[in-house]
Amino acid sequence: MSTRPTVAPPKPWAFPVPERFHLPNGLRVLLYHRPGQKVISTRVVVPVPLSAEPRSVEGVATIVSRTLDEGTTAHSADELAELLERHGVAYGASFGQNGLTLDTESTARGLHLGWELLTEFLSQPAFDENEVNRHVRQRIAEIDHQLANPGSRAALEWVKTYYTPQSRASRPTAGSAESVGAITPDHCRDFYRYLSPQEATLILAGDLDDPREALTSTFGAWSPSSVPAPSTPDELAADRARIVFVDRPGSVQTELYVGQAGPARNVPWAPYPVLGFVLGGAPTARIDAVLREEKGYTYGIRAGFRPRKDDGTFLVSGSVRADVTADALDLLLGILDGATEFSADEVRHGADYVARTAPGRYATADVVADEAAGLALFGLGTDYVTDYLAQLPTLTADEVGAAWSLWRDTPRSIVLVGDATEHAAAVEALGRGSVTVVN
């Protein structure tokens, strides 16, 4: 008779430690050696606050990110696309709340060429009028799609409700149709001047030999800028504790979007992924246990913390059957209000999930590079991940409860997208606040 094997406890795990150095132009380099991972991930992050955009042309940061590879002083857009494809270099770029991210994935064969082209994008963009205009048109078409999508529409209305109108965070990250439509190549050139290697970080992850000489000859040629980016802090709206119902006549579902204050990224983080998991991060979480499993109101509701550099939010979102709009919202808010204590079992389950899946989540070079890039935009290193994961095995229910108590009773902004004619009155009858209906 065979005996069951003994399962050993998991070994301690830490995020890979990078080799750190600077190039002569001030560019900081983080090199994550990942033996055996032959597809090498490169990320360049340039911290520029989104509030640096002029109000009249918001979205210019996104257009800049999308047109850096659409022609330089050395190559046309078609030539650049051919070079990337011929050498097997996958390229991407985006601009978020904290700055610009450029990324490539390539094998050793295309690595140096990829670095040369990234340097060219960063130092010699042409901002060709035809290419800028094409991306402006594409972005305006995206806006129409976003407004037609209930989830995107709810998120847009929520930031408009939660932040003051003067705050950049109250408006779409990639701009509105009006502001994007006003963008010209000159606006792109003006914003581009904020991009500089002095504050930027270059992240490499994969199976690499010493790349210093190659990096100096490529990224080291990117000249520093002397134009500082202006920054204006976001402010929370004094009347944010309210309910807004976006009317979509005939909707058979209602999108719920509920949010309130949460921690900034630079706080001790260990309790917060566990809280997100316990409240709404899994099918067994408190919200889905009631709204999905017990009531059958939804296919699933998501919840979690979204930290920013200077503040953060706790957000809950998902769609429910239209005929249970008011009941579902009332139950959801009741679950959040009633979360005053947490059991040792649910905290341990959440902590084990976050900690024990980390080696798998961070197993590939691209994910290592992405995590390092995201944290670099917050001014943090990946030792931040190691530190909070190390705290999870001893995290207690009292510590999780104390962390939630800091935010549980902060004012909530509630947005619903659905048939307001049919359901707004029932939502108002809940007594959780007056309802404003918008088209």
pLDDT tens digits along 168-219: 999 999 999 999 999 999 999 999 999 999 999 999 999 999 999 999 999 9
CATH value at residue 112: 3.30.830.10
Rounded Cα–Cα distance for residues 10 and 4 (Å): 18
**What confidence category does residue 282 fall into, taking pLDDT thresholds of 50, 70 and 90?**
confident
Residue 178 resides in a domain: yes
Determine the pLDDT at residue 66: 98
pLDDT at 50 over 80: yes
pLDDT at 45 over 70: yes
Q: How many domains does the chain have?
A: 2
Residue 7 resides in a domain: no
Determine the pLDDT at residue 1: 61
Strand order in the sheet with 19-22: 19-22, 28-33, 201-206, 40-47, 99-106, 90-96
**Whether 401 and 306 share a structural domain:** yes
The two tokens of residue 3 are 């005996």
Rounded Cα–Cα distance for residues 402 and 414 (Å): 24
**Whether 187 and 258 share a structural domain:** no
The residue range of the domain holding 92 is: 19-221
Determine the pLDDT at residue 5: 85
Is there a contact between 117 and 84 (Cβ–Cβ < 8 Å)? yes
**What confidence category does residue 8 fall into, taking pLDDT thresholds of 50, 70 and 90?**
confident
* Rounded average pLDDT over 304-310: 95
**Average per-residue pLDDT for the chain:** 96
Give the length of the chain: 439
Rounded Cα–Cα distance for residues 44 and 118 (Å): 9
Residue 398 resides in a domain: yes
**Whether 182 and 307 share a structural domain:** no
Burial classification of residue 244, based on how many CB atoms lie within 10 Å of its CB (0-12 exposed, 13-18 middle, 19 or more buried): buried
pLDDT at 63 over 90: yes
Among residues 189, 221, 253, which one ends one of the domains?
221
Among residues 162, 186, 221, which one ends one of the domains?
221
**Whether 137 and 282 share a structural domain:** no
Cα angle 323, 327, 333; round to 5: 140
What percentage of the chain exceeds 90 in pLDDT? Answer: 95
Rounded Cα–Cα distance for residues 152 and 412 (Å): 19
Rounded Cα–Cα distance for residues 87 and 113 (Å): 8
**Whether 93 and 43 share a structural domain:** yes
**Whether 209 and 287 share a structural domain:** no
**Whether 206 and 61 share a structural domain:** yes
Residue 47 resides in a domain: yes
**What confidence category does residue 4 fall into, taking pLDDT thresholds of 50, 70 and 90?**
confident
* Rounded average pLDDT over 334-349: 96
pLDDT at 382 over 90: yes
* Rounded average pLDDT over 17-28: 97
pLDDT at 61 over 90: yes
**What confidence category does residue 315 fall into, taking pLDDT thresholds of 50, 70 and 90?**
very high
**What confidence category does residue 9 fall into, taking pLDDT thresholds of 50, 70 and 90?**
confident
Determine the pLDDT at residue 10: 76
Rounded Cα–Cα distance for residues 80 and 239 (Å): 49
pLDDT at 118 over 70: yes
